[in-house]
Amino acid sequence: MKYISSKNNSIFKNISKLSSSSKKRKQTKSFLVEGIKFIEMCHSNKFNFIEIIICSEIISNENLNFIKKNFEHFDLFDFSKKLFDDISYKKNEDGILAIVQNKNNSIDDFKLSKNPYILVVESPEKPGNIGALLRTADAAGMDGLIIANPKTELYNPNTIRSSLGSLFSMQIATDSTENVINFLTKNDIQICSTYVEKSKNYLDINYSKPSAIVIGKESSSLTSVWRNKSDELISIPMKGKMDSLNLSVCAAIVIFEGLKQRDDN
């Protein structure tokens, strides 16, 4: 175990950049995970670990034993509390950080259940919304989340935190809109896209068969290709003065209506 207390140390500098720089995360195809809960979830969901960092001044014996048992072949880096706090988000009382390799997230590896139920989002702009969508899809027991034409990095720290770990346990795929539509069509999955114009009330749709709920990004609607390729265009009736809902709220309303129908059958 190597103790590190200087900010000039190359290992600390590298991890600090990974914590704060999207460019660094993209270049290395890796990201930072904080706390025992998320590290356990990454480990159980077979993510590949690159480095393990602890802070011996605050880590508990239980957490240290978990690290030694499951990462016995790793050279541990022990950061001083000052350095550890510098790269941690707010207050990390577990005393554990890890550098983890991105998964491939290829749509070719996306596994379907016997009666698929999938959430699709096109070009989401806010990492926090991706995390919220993952939690919703996880809560509903969906097959997973597919991101069409991604505009932001999947393993952003805000995505990790807002997903409460669902980022590690849920199936996720990313690809172009065209490839996502081809994947859904090829597998005979009904495409139900949220649209304001020329759409049906979301309550009037049958979601009990293989279905994908498709929603657009925060600032605008889905691109026109979805209108042409969807089996159903759906909308949520609005009775107040507001004409739009938060992305994850909109998704949850439709998703849980579909779940209700599926549970009734």
Q: What is the tens place of the pLDDT at every residue in 5-29?
A: 999 999 999 999 998 899 999 999 9
Name the residue ranges covered by the structural domains of the chain.
2-101, 107-264
CATH number for domain 107-264, candidates 3.40.1280.10, 2.40.50.140, 3.40.50.10310, 3.90.79.10: 3.40.1280.10
Per residue in 221-263, pLDDT (tens digit) is: 799 999 899 999 999 888 876 666 788 999 999 999 999 999 9
Q: What is the pTM of this model?
A: 0.93
CATH number for domain 2-101, candidates 3.40.50.150, 3.30.1330.30, 3.30.300.30, 3.40.630.10: 3.30.1330.30
- DSSP for 13-54 reads HHHHHHHH-HHHHHHHTEEEEESHHHHHHHHHTTPPEEEEEE
**Cα separation, 150 vs 106, whole angstroms:** 13
Per residue in 171-214, pLDDT (tens digit) is: 999 999 999 999 999 999 999 999 877 789 999 999 999 999 99
β-strand pairing of 30-34 with 144-148: unpaired
Neighbouring residues of 72: CB distance < 8 A, sequence distance ≥ 6: none
